[in-house]
Amino acid sequence: MGTPHNQAKPGDIAKRVLMPGDPLRAKFIAETYLENPVCFNTVRNMLGYTGTWKGEPLSVMGGGMGMPSIGIYSYELYHMYGVEEIIRVGSAGGIQDDVQLGEVIVAMGACTDSNYGYQYQLPGAFAPVGDFALASRAVALAKERRTPYHVGNVLSSDIFYNEMPVNDAWKKMGVLCVEMEIAALYMNAAAAGKRALGLLTISDHLYREESMSPKERQVGFGKMIEIALNL
């Protein structure tokens, strides 16, 4: 089988996939948490692995940076490899004042400045949302682990280095943080009739000169990964 972006064969990929942006983080997750991980993709160095977690098949694969990239990989997983559920695990920049470094964000919805939804030819603006059952379970797991969390809207932006000071407008509307992929993932899931959830760790803040050290990132991201694994 295979695609221009994925050399996996039918059956190589589990029904459930964790998707960080960085392929090396996918490698780290697979080698740290999964039993007997096997690499199924090296095309464009977008590494993907399948192993087991608590006896159940689980895959982890990088999704890249931005909506065009995760749009390609998640589309192929849903439509060409029979994947039923994708959990994005990534970092984000805080916007709201009460959002602190290291806290976990459960993305209930994803605002966007992207034109990704144009392809669906809808007579209005589509509101991409995550799977409620997955979100509810993520909240329960965060509570069990006493991991600080927030649930709400995130901003999936096409622009990292933005020429316009637009953060204030999103902050006024209650948007928790900014990242670059979840809206496309949620749209792909909706169009395919599949499940998706975005989990994020706050690694820096747009209104305060704060950012996590490499050690803090490792600890903070570990909390998020363990929630994702146990969904």
**Closest by Cα among 44, 67, 182, 47 to 13:** 47
Quickly list H helices, the chain.
Answer: 23-33, 67-80, 132-144, 167-172, 182-192, 214-229
Q: Is 204 among the catalytic positions?
A: yes
Calculate the CA 68 to chain-centre distance: 14
- Residues paired with 149 in a beta bridge: 104
Determine the Cα–Cα distance for residues 220 and 148; give it in Å rounded to an integer: 10
Calculate the CA 36 to chain-centre distance: 24
Catalytic residue among 22, 113, 158, 204: 204
**Closest by Cα among 151, 159, 179 to 21:** 179
Supply the residues annotated as catalytic. Answer: 204
